[in-house]
Amino acid sequence: MKSSVRSSLLLLLTAMIWGLAFVAQDVAMNSVRAFTFNGGRMLLAALMLLVVCAVMDARAKKNPGASSAIPLKAMNKGQKKALWIGGVLCGLFLAVASSLQQIGLEQGASAGKAGFITALYIVLVPICGLFLGKKLRLILVPAVLFSAVGLYLLCITGQFRLDSSDIYLILCALTFSGHILVVDYFSPRTDCVKLSCVQFFVCSGLCILAACIFEKPNWLQLADCLIPLLYAGLLSGGVGYTLQMVAQKNLDPTVASLIMCLESVFAVLGGLIILGDSMTGREYLGCGLMMCGILLAQWPEKKSALTEVKAE
């Protein structure tokens, strides 16, 4: 099997794991509150990545050319600085974004709707990049229009009114956009697997602190949602991230982004098949338009002076 085909299949598996995680998150809301669930799942992901980092470091020491890992002792001052500062900032953004997402589910949003609205970050990231002086491709104009109309059909029913769950999910997509931009800045400057491990520990600590203040969690609550917790923490967090890292090494980033967009499709399918969620024709049309916008945002475009405009 060609490496590109193998990588595409691995990313498809990753998208499925991430999409079905919305089902696990939805089910967990029957037993536990948002901060408690996120604190537990992020701690599991952090511990799993800690093991992955140890294995990769051991492999790098044994055969330096066989692993992209940078052992902590081998990092220079700049790499260590990027690891700790970047890890804290990424963890902060991730804590806010994942909590907003979980609260949106807690407020009644379906797994499919949560998956599609969250996926708007793919359109929002380049728009937010304008404020950082980055270029904006013209193809993003129809992408934003498709996404805006799709979001309206998905979220606005009858009167012009957003439900509280929709507002939380839109804020979640905006926060995830900030998270991606922070990751984009720090990940090339240090070991990205260790960076992710640090962010999961920071995110877990913040969510556990918030849970102790606002929710008063107990072990019985966590035991009641053990399977969703294990899925979201180990599979969606640890395994999903590792598969993404492995698969993207041999795949064009545009192709990789298009495959990972299917996360939102799997979220809808998972909610429909596993949870029995139902959506109206209007909502399915909204999902379709949002998917068109998401795909357009990642579509390759010929580089020329006419296809890019600089932020003023």
Spatial separation of the C-alpha atoms in residues 300 and 282, rounded to whole Å: 29
pLDDT in tens, the chain (312 residues): 567 788 888 888 988 998 899 899 989 888 899 999 999 999 999 999 999 889 888 888 887 666 667 888 889 999 999 999 999 999 999 999 999 999 999 998 888 888 888 888 777 877 787 777 777 677 778 888 888 888 788 776 666 667 888 899 999 999 988 888 888 788 888 888 899 899 999 999 999 999 999 998 888 888 888 999 999 999 988 888 778 767 766 666 656 666 777 788 888 888 888 888 777 888 888 888 888 887 787 676 655 443 343 333
Q: Is the dihedral of CA 25, 30, 31, 33 positive or negative?
A: positive
What is the number of residues in the chain? 312
**Rounded CA gap, 62 and 56, in Å?**
10
Residue spans of the domains in the chain: they are: 3-63+74-299
* Structure tokens given for 162: 């957003």
Going by the DSSP 8-state scheme, the letter that residue 248 receives in this structure is G
Per-residue pLDDT at 231: 94
Distance from the Cα of residue 182 to its chain's centroid? 13
- Using H for helix, E for strand and C for coil, what is the string for 88-141? HHHHHHHHHHHHHHHHHHHCCCCHHHHHHHHCCHHHHHHHHHHHHCCCEECCHH
CA gap 171, 100 in Å, rounded: 7
Token pair belonging to 127? 């728009």
Consecutive H or E run containing 33: none
- pLDDT (0 to 100) of residue 70: 83
Strand partners, 58: none
User: Residue 299's pLDDT is what?
Assistant: 72
